[in-house]
Amino acid sequence: IINSEGTFFLERVQDHVIETFKIAAITPAAKLLNAIKSVDFGIPRADEIIRDLGKEQLIEGIETLLDIATLEHWDVEIMKHILKTACFAKKFSDPNDFDPNRYVNVVKHMIVLTKLRHSDVCARAITYQQFEKYKPKRILKLLYKFRDYKHALTLIDNLNFK
């Protein structure tokens, strides 16, 4: 939805987002969010929560958190919190079970998308899925067309274009 005040997304909330953030949620992603909350408040329960999850549920929780972070369009603080939780949980996983490059790629893409959404030159209403489908090189051409060189350089730096 585009109006004179800004650009807004209207979409159905995904089931895994509802299952993670509802009251008394017991999904692996919700447990990881509780673990990071324990760390933030200085309660030594985080290790216990992580150990109770096990290897498969830990990986499932990290993947769910990364998916939820890609769905967050507006509130950067929520996105940062979700990515911080995924980073915290990633430390407890084996690199053979969970590819750390997936986390790094999501973070870099979300940095670029956030800057594109809040551009002073021409804000773009684009989701992570649209960004993946549209291909970054085509977005780079679009940024050149609108003379948004600052964000073009951000895209080049974060996505390692040469």
How many Å apart are CA 123 and CA 117, to the nearest integer? 5
The predicted-structure confidence for 50-95, as pLDDT tens digits, reads as follows 888 888 999 999 999 999 998 877 788 989 999 999 999 888 888 8
User: Does residue 5 carry a pLDDT above 80?
Assistant: no
Name the token pair of 118: 């809040």
- Please determine, for residue 6, whether its predicted confidence score (pLDDT) is greater than 80: no
The tens digit of pLDDT for each residue in 137-147 reads 888 888 888 88
Mean per-residue pLDDT for 27-54? 87
Per-residue pLDDT, 118: 79
* Residue 42: CB atoms within 10 Å: 6
Q: What is the mean pLDDT of the chain?
A: 85
pLDDT at 60: 92
Burial class (CB in 10 A: 0-12, 13-18, 19+), 111: middle
